[in-house]
């Protein structure tokens, strides 16, 4: 499991987990779950489009992610956010079906692009993931306070000079960048599961922002590591384990938090009758 050809997988998957944990914290806090699902899913046909034009697939992914970010924020000006996201998603996917059908040899890789090919990570994948993921994480960490403020209260944030539209664009840009680079390695659907499950579990455990973000990263790392190990042992797709473990950790910490709440309330009642 830890032989040399698996080393790249462990490195890249760990980096992706850290980035997803950091970005995912704000995805959950801002209620941007739909955007976090739509960006990777709408971005994946970009690889097919690029290969049709004879370019490196990463460029296609970056362009599609950029179009998705602009589409969501531009359509979101005059339309409710979930509707704008859905319209952007279907338009990108509609274009995607065209490119996928035109480049017929690409249909084989659709499964890998959707569900990930974690065991086929090469050494050349490490650098792009590290650079782009580092930028995405740096943007989120540098904008930590304004992002937090505008998530908690957009009006208060605007009053303090944080323009909601700029924040939105920066945030979606970070999500798009993180997905475009992580996508060929872990798959469009896995990026999403990894961003939402662990972060939601962390938020159920604690309300303190810094602690919750750290917990989100730790849970994401745990999810990815056990998913790869399980996938290696069973030969089942890694996406199944990430999706299942993500939902499982959320359910577990939700019930755990409810149990602790009840216990602590019971204790206070005993101490102060």
- Residue closer to other proteins by CB (options 217, 238) is 238
For the record, the structure tokens of 264 come out as 């602590």
Q: How many residues does the chain have?
A: 273
The span from the CA of 101 to the CA of 155, in Å, is 46
# residues contacting other proteins (CB under 8 A): 49
- Residue closer to other proteins by CB (options 57, 239) is 239
* Cβ 177 vs Cβ 136: under 8 Å: yes
Provide the minimum distance between the beta carbon of 204 and other proteins in the complex, in angstroms, as a whole number. 10
Helix count (H) and strand count (E) of the chain?
13, 0
Among 5, 7, 31, 210, binds other proteins (CB under 8 A): 31
Among 110, 169, 214, 218, binds other proteins (CB under 8 A): 110
Residue numbers 203-242 binding other proteins by CB under 8 A: 236-237, 239-242
- Residue closer to other proteins by CB (options 52, 130) is 52
Q: Does 189 bind other proteins (CB under 8 A)?
A: yes
* Cβ 201 vs Cβ 252: under 8 Å: yes
Q: Does 37 bind other proteins (CB under 8 A)?
A: yes
Provide the minimum distance between the beta carbon of 194 and other proteins in the complex, in angstroms, as a whole number. 9
- Residue closer to other proteins by CB (options 8, 88) is 88
Q: Does 90 bind other proteins (CB under 8 A)?
A: yes
Among 5, 55, 80, 211, binds other proteins (CB under 8 A): 80
Phi-psi region for residue 3, left (φ > 0), alpha (ψ -120 to 50) or beta?
A: beta
Provide the minimum distance between the beta carbon of 272 and other proteins in the complex, in angstroms, as a whole number. 31
Q: Does 86 bind other proteins (CB under 8 A)?
A: yes
The interface mask with other proteins, positions 39-78, x = CB under 8 A, is ---------------------------------------x
- Residue closer to other proteins by CB (options 66, 82) is 82
Q: Which residues bind other proteins (CB under 8 A)?
A: 28, 30-31, 33-34, 36-37, 78-80, 82-83, 85-87, 89-91, 93-95, 97-98, 100-101, 104, 107-108, 110-111, 114-115, 189, 192-193, 196-197, 200, 236-237, 239-244, 246-247, 250
């Amino acid at each position: 499991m830890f032989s040399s050809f698996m080393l790249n997988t462990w490195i890249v998957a760990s980096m992706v987990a850290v980035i997803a944990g950091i970005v995912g914290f704000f995805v959950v806090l801002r209620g941007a779950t739909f955007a976090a699902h739509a960006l990777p899913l709408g971005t994946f046909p970009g690889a097919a489009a690029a290969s049709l034009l004879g370019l490196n697939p990463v460029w296609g992914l970056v362009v599609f992610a950029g179009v998705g970010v602009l589409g969501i924020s531009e359509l979101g000006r005059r339309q409710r956010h979930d509707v704008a996201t859905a319209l952007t998603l279907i338009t990108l996917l509609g274009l995607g079906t065209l490119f996928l059908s035109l480049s017929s040899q690409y249909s084989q890789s659709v499964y890998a692009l959707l569900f990930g090919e974690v065991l086929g990570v090469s050494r050349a994948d490490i650098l792009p993931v590290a650079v782009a993921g580092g930028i995405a994480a740096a943007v989120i960490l540098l904008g930590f306070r304004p992002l937090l403020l505008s998530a908690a209260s957009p009006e208060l944030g605007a009053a303090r000079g944080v323009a909601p539209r700029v924040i939105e664009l920066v945030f979606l840009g970070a999500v798009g960048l993180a997905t475009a680079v992580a996508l060929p390695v872990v798959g469009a659907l896995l990026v999403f599961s990894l961003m939402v499950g662990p972060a939601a579990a962390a938020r159920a455990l604690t309300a303190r922002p810094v602690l919750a973000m750290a917990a989100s990263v730790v849970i994401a790392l745990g999810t990815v590591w056990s998913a790869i190990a399980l996938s290696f042992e069973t030969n089942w797709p890694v996406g199944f384990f990430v999706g299942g473990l993500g939902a499982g950790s959320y359910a577990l910490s939700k019930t755990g938090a409810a149990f602790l709440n009840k216990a602590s309330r019971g204790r206070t009642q005993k101490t102060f009758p």
